[in-house]
Amino acid sequence: MLDKSAKDALDQQGIRPAMPPRLKNIKFEEGNFSQLLSIARQQNKLLMVEIYLNGCPHCAALAPVLQEKKVGDFFNKAFVNAKIEANSNTSKELQMQKGLTYPEFPLFFFFDANGQLVHQAAPAEKSNRTDFINEVLRHGNEALTPGLRTSNYANLYAKGERDINFLVNYGKYAKATKDNNRLTQIGNDIAKAFTKPADLESATGFYVISRLINDFQNPMAKHFFANLPKYKKYNTAENPKAVQDAVDGIIYTTLYGQRADKLSSAEIIAMRNAMITPTTPAKVVAPRTILKELEAFFREKNTIAATNRLNEYKKLVPMQFQDYSYLVRYFNEKATDNSYVPSLITWVNEGVKTFKPSDPNHTKKALADLHAEQANAYLRIGKKVEAKKAAQEAFNI
């Protein structure tokens, strides 16, 4: 029997040793993804990889089911099987190599001999062992049936399949494979089935919102943000930040997703306001959106609004030398008129005061560049004397 230190070492690599022969469970092979795939190729089988998370109660509930003889007999005959912990180095390599993310735990990934993901499944926990066994076997049988695999969902979707269970599973597959455009489309389809407040605020509604909705403009997201107190019941001892995580997830994917370069300033401000809560004050939220707000204002050719927003931001969040260095240059490059220049001159003077020679990140070159940006701003409004003075200061440094 392995001692605790040996078990911990294997867990760190994302590997769990095969159980003793006396248990008729699934046999889990060891190794990295390439090694596991090589074994599957040699045996002419699909490779099944279970992704589990230490401390996950659903993963713990699944573990004894995988030790059942009926499950072991089926999976050992049909697949080469592996078990990888989500935070392990092996898991990180798999995610990077195959471009995957994990929408929930536990997960089954099935790969063909070429290493292509052909099926994904998330076994649902059942109240009795027989149903749970059948649930796991069902996913295995689907992996063996090309027409039922999640890799075939795009074809089914194109043919008009819109069953809600299909959409949810397709959404999880799109999220796992980082197909964010399709996930947005699926989210809009799912929203057509969740229109009543009772449905939107149900456990199923929150499940969809927290895992599959990736756009602030999705109707389900709009209802969610307008009724956050009603969702607090989904904060549990297991996940006390479930609602906040859902808020952050939707806003992050909106700010940096497919519509990122098309978002209006009004949308971004609405997202910023939606994130402000008694436990997440404005000064905590503001840094998350400030650059996106400025980008939107400049897209809208509204330099005055961008300038005013940064001046408001400075009152709320103390800026450091690197902040001034970046933003001063940013305004000089992006501004569509010269209305910002008086403020920029002030920003440079404030930035200089935050310079710390003892800080290795505060270089003399960066300080000189700050004065040079001030000189450029002066030139934009025709103040040549002041520009020359700022340029000379940069040269002296």
Instruction: For tokens 């995957």, name the residue.
Output: 100
Residue 59: how many CB atoms within 10 A of its CB?
A: 21
The whole-angstrom separation of Cα 172 and Cα 192 is: 18
How far is residue 328's CA from residue 213's CA, in Å, rounded to a whole number?
36
Residue type, 365: K
Residue 7 clears pLDDT 60, i.e. is over it: no
Mention every residue, 6+ apart, whose C-beta is less than 8 A from residue 130.
none
Residue 294 near residue 310 (C-beta atoms within 8 A): yes
Measured CA distances, 354 to 1, 364, 366 (Å): 60, 13, 12
Give the closest residue to 150 by CA, choosing from 167, 134, 131: 167
Distance CA 279, CA 225 (A): 16
In this prediction, residue 1 carries a pLDDT of 43
Measured distance CA(117)–CA(136) in Å, rounded:
18
Residues 356 and 395: their CA atoms lie apart, in Å, by 19
Closest CA to 98 of 32, 13, 149, 158: 32
Total length of the chain = 397
Copy the structure tokens of residue 44: 């002419």
Q: Is the pLDDT of residue 20 over 50?
A: no
Question: Are the CB atoms for 332 and 373 separated by under 8 Å?
Answer: yes
- pLDDT at position 16 is 55
Q: Are 200 and 224 in contact (CB under 8 A)?
A: yes
Nearest Cα neighbor of 48 from 101, 109, 102 is 109
The residue written with tokens 């076997």 in the block is 137
Task: Please tell me the distance from the alpha carbon of residue 79 to that of residue 71, in angstroms, as a whole number.
Answer: 12
Interacting residues of 287 by C-beta distance below 8 A, sequence separation 6+: 317
Q: How far is CA 95 from the centre of its chain?
A: 13
Q: What residues form DSSP beta bridges with 322?
A: none
Please give the Cα distance from 48 to 80 (Å, whole number): 6
Mean pLDDT within 70-84: 97
Mean pLDDT of 335-352: 97
The average pLDDT across 107-122 equals: 97
The model's pLDDT over 250-299, given as tens digits with 9 standing for 90+, comes to: 999 999 988 999 999 999 999 999 988 888 899 999 999 999 999 999 99
Provide, rounded to the nearest whole percent, the portion of the chain with pLDDT above 90. 90
Note the pLDDT of residue 14: 57
Alpha helix stretches (DSSP H) within 177-319: 180-191, 197-200, 203-212, 219-226, 242-256, 265-275, 282-299, 303-316
The number of beta carbons lying within 10 Å of the beta carbon of residue 392 is 12
Average pLDDT score, the chain:
93
**pLDDT value of residue 51:** 97
Provide the 3-class DSSP secondary structure of residue 372. Answer: helix
Residue position matching structure tokens 């008009």: 160
User: In whole angstroms, what is the distance from residue 289 CA to residue 324 CA?
Assistant: 17
Q: Are 177 and 169 in contact (CB under 8 A)?
A: no
Cβ contacts of 252 within 8 Å, gap of 6 or more: none
Quick count: other Cβ atoms within 10 Å of Cβ 5?
A: 8
Residue range 137-190, pLDDT digits in tens: 999 999 999 999 999 999 999 999 999 999 999 999 999 999 999 999 999 999
Smallest CA-to-CA distance from 84 within 18, 17, 15 is with: 15
What is each CA distance from 276 to 215, 270, 281, 282, 286, in whole angstroms? 18, 10, 5, 6, 9
Parallel, antiparallel or unpaired: strands 107-111 and 46-52: antiparallel
Tens of pLDDT along 224-241?
999 999 999 999 988 899
Burial (CB < 10 A; 0-12, 13-18, 19+), residue 203, is exposed
pLDDT band at 24 (very low <50, low <70, confident <90, very high): low
